[in-house]
Amino acid sequence: MGLSKEFRVNRQYSEELKKRAVFNVLSGAMRKSEALREYGIGSYTSLDRWMERYGHGILTEHKELLIQMGRRKPNTNTAVKGEIPEAEKLRHELAKLRKDLKAAELRAEAYSLMIDLAEKELKVAIRKKSVTK
């Protein structure tokens, strides 16, 4: 049997305590039972109600922190030997594309200088004029 209404105590918890308890449970830092003991919460029902009320807001407020907490270092042992993970392949491809772009820009600048020199020495207009019919 539960306590009669005469002996029940309605505890008042601060908003900060509620939010801290919910954050610790949602982030995985504590289990519900640990949060109950740590913060002196009377019942699982109270904590569940707080999680419904504050959970979404806390998750959006601390999104970056929770993402960082959830990140794990890649386990190289799980990859097949000789296989490069997708992210590393993409990094290599990006580096190659940047190198190719730099080479193309240098080539274009060299062609432009060659045309300028040829026009100057040969005294002939080589570049197309923008207002041609």
Domain boundaries of the chain, sorted by first residue: 15-70, 89-127
51-71 pLDDT, tens per residue? 888 877 776 776 666 666 665
Of 104, 105, 114, give the one whose Cα is nearest residue 127. 114
State whether the Cα torsion 46-48-52-54 is positive or negative.
positive
75-128 pLDDT, tens per residue? 555 445 455 688 888 999 999 999 999 999 999 999 899 988 998 998 888 887
Enumerate residues 6+ apart whose C-beta is below 8 A from 38.
21, 24, 30
Q: How many CA atoms lie within 13 A of 52 on its CB side?
A: 5
pLDDT at 1 over 60: no
For residue 84, what pLDDT is reported?
Answer: 64
At residue 126, φ and ψ (nearest 5 deg) are -100, -40
Enumerate residues 6+ apart whose C-beta is below 8 A from 18.
50, 53, 54
What's the whole-model pTM score? 0.42
For residue 93, what pLDDT is reported?
Answer: 92
